[in-house]
Amino acid sequence: MRSLHHCPAPAKLNLFLHVVGRRADGYHLLQSVFQLIDRADTLHFDLREDEQIVRTTEVKGVPQEQDLIVRALRLLQAEYVRRHGRLPPGIEVAVEKILPMGGGLGGGSSDAATALMAANHLWQAGLSRQELMDLGLPLGADIPFFLFGETAFAEGVGEALQAVPGPDCWYVVIEPGVAVPTPAIFSAPDLTRNTEPVIIADFSSSYADSGSRLSFGKNDLQDVAMRLFPPVAEAVEWLSGYGDARMTGSGACVFCAFSSEAAADRVLAAMPGKWTAWKAKSLKSHPLMKSLLQNQ
């Protein structure tokens, strides 16, 4: 096989996000539930005759050398050399980008995870899913989740993952039109850093009782993001008229859960035209799980 085309890199939502402490090295200790949704970037991979890793499409604001896709593939390339004693064929990557940067949807990390899955398959590199997760972690704390590939309760800096049942629902997501830099949120002096830790059973029992409603926890980063970025506050306020609206990740995107597609459509029909907004279905597992991850 010399190519893999139309590989999805799905977005994630943080159904809640608590900051429960801080490590000695400054990294924050988190608890969250990551939910995959069916809104996705699409990547296409082709092996080359040489040994170069090349991104063939422009991604605004992201030079090739800084792209998580390219950096992840180079890490896997180096691991391949370590295991097999030779370089694998080069790869060309084309990216159809629809997920916003700085949106809290994990788009860049998801792209990198899909690239690791695809290259591991095309190169027959032989890394397990856990080995791919370990390889990707230094590049970004969200990458292991996308390789984990199913709804997960996350702890640590986001890398300690356990599968949990997630809601079967639709989401309306607003892109407020700003990119929120993660460091600006985590360095804010008024960020809550001492939320009481929870256990998986707390989350699971909450969803069993409430169906699709976001009744559990909150996003500890949201208040800071709303203060620093008024468009985020405006989107939260508007969407809160239809349910428990909250921000995902460190922002900027804001979402609300609905029990049916028709309910989501009604909210989208009322949406002010100044925002980009869309609906997405919850996913139980990564779309590439069966084809690329199941046997790893």
Looking at the structure, do residues 159 and 187 belong to the same domain, yes or no? no
Decide which of 164, 190, 205 is a domain's last residue: 164
DSSP collapsed to 3 states, 147-167? HHCECEEEECCCCEEEECCCC
Cα dihedral 167, 173, 176, 177 sign: positive
Query: Does 55 fall in a domain?
Result: yes
- pLDDT value at residue 204: 82
* Contacts (Cβ under 8 Å, ≥6 apart) of 98: 39, 40, 41
Q: What is the CATH number of the domain that holds 153?
A: 3.30.230.10
Classify strands 53-55 and 91-96 as parallel, antiparallel or unpaired. parallel
| Beta bridge partner(s), residue 36 | 12, 283
Give residue 152's domain range.
3-164
Six-digit token string for 200: 């998986």
Classify strands 53-55 and 3-22 as parallel, antiparallel or unpaired. unpaired
Looking at the structure, do residues 175 and 264 belong to the same domain, yes or no? yes
Catalytic residue of the set 12, 41, 111, 279: 12
Looking at the structure, do residues 174 and 214 belong to the same domain, yes or no? yes
Query: Does 296 fall in a domain?
Result: no
Query: Does 182 fall in a domain?
Result: yes
Catalytic residue of the set 111, 142, 220, 223: 142
Looking at the structure, do residues 212 and 153 belong to the same domain, yes or no? no
Tens of each residue's pLDDT in the chain, 296 residues: 899 999 999 999 999 999 999 988 888 999 999 999 999 999 999 999 999 999 999 999 999 999 999 999 999 999 999 999 999 999 999 999 999 999 999 999 999 999 999 999 999 999 999 999 999 999 999 999 999 999 999 999 888 999 999 889 999 999 999 999 999 999 999 999 999 999 999 888 776 555 555 668 999 999 999 999 999 999 999 999 999 999 999 999 999 999 999 999 999 999 999 999 999 999 999 999 888 865 55
Looking at the structure, do residues 137 and 232 belong to the same domain, yes or no? no
- pLDDT tens readout for residues 171-205: 999 999 999 999 999 999 999 999 999 999 988 87
**What DSSP string runs through 41-93?**
EEEEEEE-SSS-EEE-S--TT--GGG-HHHHHHHHHHHHHHHHHSSPPPPEEE
Report which of 18, 11, 6, 3 is spatially closest to residue 216, judged by C-alpha positions: 18
Query: Does 292 fall in a domain?
Result: no
Element (H, E) at 122: helix 107-122
* Contacts (Cβ under 8 Å, ≥6 apart) of 70: 53, 55, 64, 93
Q: What is the dihedral of CA 61, 254, 166, 29, to 10 degrees?
A: 70
Angle at 154 between CA 43 and CA 139, to 5 degrees: 45
Q: How many CB atoms lie within 10 A of CB 197?
A: 12
- pLDDT value at residue 26: 82
Q: What is the CATH number of the domain that holds 260?
A: 3.30.70.890
Looking at the structure, do residues 65 and 97 belong to the same domain, yes or no? yes
- Residue 97 among the catalytic residues: no
Query: Does 33 fall in a domain?
Result: yes
Query: Does 295 fall in a domain?
Result: no
Query: Does 205 fall in a domain?
Result: yes
- pLDDT value at residue 35: 97
- Residue 142 among the catalytic residues: yes
Measure the CA–CA gap between 59 and 55, rounded to whole angstroms: 9
Measure the CA–CA gap between 170 and 176, rounded to whole angstroms: 19
Query: Does 190 fall in a domain?
Result: yes
Looking at the structure, do residues 226 and 149 belong to the same domain, yes or no? no
Decide which of 142, 164, 186 is a domain's last residue: 164
Decide which of 129, 164, 199 is a domain's last residue: 164
Looking at the structure, do residues 129 and 54 belong to the same domain, yes or no? yes
Looking at the structure, do residues 143 and 82 belong to the same domain, yes or no? yes
Looking at the structure, do residues 30 and 103 belong to the same domain, yes or no? yes
Q: Which amino acid is residue 281, in one-letter code?
A: K
Looking at the structure, do residues 252 and 123 belong to the same domain, yes or no? no
- pLDDT tens readout for residues 14-48: 999 999 999 888 889 999 999 999 999 999 999 99
- pLDDT value at residue 210: 55
- pLDDT value at residue 127: 97
Looking at the structure, do residues 20 and 131 belong to the same domain, yes or no? yes
| Beta bridge partner(s), residue 212 | none
- pLDDT value at residue 25: 86
Domain count, the chain: 2
Burial letters for 78-114: b for 16+ Cβ neighbours within 10 Å, e otherwise?
ebbeeeeeeebbbbbbebebebbebbbbbbbbbbbbb
